[in-house]
Amino acid sequence: MNRRNFIKGVAFSASVSGAGKTLMTHAKAAQLAEVPSYHRLFPDLPAAIFERADLERLASGDGKALKGMTAEPELLKDKDGKPLRSRQGKLQMSATPEDEMDDEENFGIPAGYTYLGQFVDHDLTFKGDDDFAILGASGMNARTPRFDLDSLYGAGPGLQPYLYEGNGRRLQRGRRLTHSGKPGLARDHVRIGDRALIGDKRNDENVLVSQMHGIFADFHNRVANDQPRMDFEALRRIVAWHYQWMLLTDFLPRLCGPELVAGLLPGFGENGMVGLPQPQLRFTHTMPAQGIPLEFTDAAYRFGHSMIRSVYRLNERMRGSDDEIRGNRSMAGRRAIFAAAENAGLNGFRSFPAEWAIDWNLYFETRVDLTTARIAEGPRRVQASYKIDTSLTNPLSHLPEFSSLQENGRLRQDRDGFPAQKPGAMSNLTLRKLVRGHVSGLPSGQDIALAMGLEPLADKDLRVGKASVEGLDENLSIDSYGESFRGRAPLWFYVLSEAQHDWSQRAAATTGTAEARNATPSRLGPVGARLVAETFIALMARDPSSVLHAPPTWRPAYQDKGRFGMVELVAIAGHG
């Protein structure tokens, strides 16, 4: 059976309340199921077929000399380079000290944009990532394919009043959070036990995206305070326009390049107003009304996984225990993105410690710029995202959602202290993404490049590993990982690899030390940038309620010196 025709739709029963959506009747669900939510931008291109063993080797290596896309864990070692173990016999995680250069850091994109990107993803799609065999190339999208913040607002105060305060204008907020005991303005979600009452449960899957959701809730509440006579729908529209303006003028230019975005959307933002934008779309103008491209959802927009750091500092006051300071200074006061031990990682779907309020000055350039000159400031500096490359940090190979639980509900640990994989599950994120693209029947990256009129990269230029000076010489080409990759690469891998290739060319041309070359900023390459930017603009262009259809003289009410980006949004929300 052709995988693109595997399913014509997904039958919803009565609701998808777990995703915070409006209740639907059987008739309405059946009507929507007749229109696939996901489609191919290039339907005439053949699906790229890969051997399962090759995909596994690309994800994790061969256990010998061949390293995969999943990076080796960073471990605490003795003077002879041997990994140290705790008293319980578990390996101990480590990281580059905060006041030293980390060659994986991207000094063009602060770390907060990684989780802004995740928040945006949850605003656009909810495909059911854990069922590859059921949701392949077709199926229902449990989110609206619009930048309407439905993951924040759910079904609205009429159908989900528990998300809102009594007047239905302001979003409910939960307990106060602190900076290791120091009072702050941040709040958690309202929770029942450990579960957050929010519009999309995925916005609680790690502490960082959870508090990112909180920024937008607080921004909405600030607008509601400033506009006391405005009803909910009008408030929602104004908040959405500010959000969309920020995506078009800050988020997309950082990731895709300002020149590309300006070329795709001439006339937008002139003189600080909407103006009369004229989208110049080459590949997305035929998207169906409720559709969203699989090349975007299952490949290009998944570039953000490579930007995830292994460890993060939440606020300056978290300094770690005395034992950490003495024996593992690089981890003192920081937490892994995921970990098996309770409170060692930023795992979500729980009531995390109240002392874990995020200081967003450490994630966005609200106070100081992201520069190598500030590395010596250590805990006070802006954290960078990791570069867009073909290396994913090791904690992502042990996703908590697909790991085994003990009877007390805590994660079960394997012999080394990592989360133990649930029987029959696939907990390695890298392999999940490679398999997902394969099941979706996506074309190869090379075929997509040719269809876009671009010269595809040769196999020798599609490298596996970190975008670093060391990697320029050591990373192997994709055809080293299996015959099925010769002349064709998974589209997700290709998007990451072309960003890495673009970085390597600019880094090689940079004069100076290895540190200076490693500090060369990273962003998406030609195929990935156009797929992402054009999809964003096409979705807004076809949505009559988007900022692209606002009055020409409309401008963000909260501009600062003619600019409204994430820095300004964070400040207005009360977190800057």
Q: Domain map of the chain by residue range?
A: 3-572
Residues 6+ apart with CB under 8 A from 13: 26, 29
Tokens encoding 208 = 């960082």
Nearest-angstrom CA–CA distance, 251 and 253: 6
- CA angle, 328 then 334 then 337, to 5°: 115
Q: Given this model, what pLDDT does residue 56 score? A: 97
Cα separations (Å) of 372 from 56, 100, 110, 523? Answer: 36, 10, 12, 18
SS3 254: helix
State mean pLDDT over 531-556: 97
What was the pLDDT predicted at 546?
A: 98
The mean pLDDT of the chain is 90
Q: Kindly report, residue by residue over 304-320, the tens digit of the pLDDT.
A: 999 999 999 999 999 88
- pLDDT of amino acid 24: 32
Q: What pLDDT does residue 178 have?
A: 96
Predicted confidence at residue 10, as pLDDT, reads 23
What is d(CA 272, CA 78) in angstroms, rounded to the nearest whole number? 56
CATH code: domain 3-572 is 1.10.640
- pLDDT value for 342: 84
Phi, psi of 556 (to 5 degrees): -60, 130
- C-beta separation of 341 from 88 below 8 A: no
Q: What is the pLDDT of residue 470?
A: 94
pLDDT (average), residues 511-519 = 93
Q: Is the pLDDT of residue 32 over 70?
A: no
How buried is 225 (Cβ within 10 angstroms: 0-12 exposed, 13-18 middle, 19+ buried)?
exposed
Cα–Cα distance measured from residue 6 to residue 29, given in angstroms and rounded to the nearest whole number: 19
Helix, strand, or coil here: 395?
helix
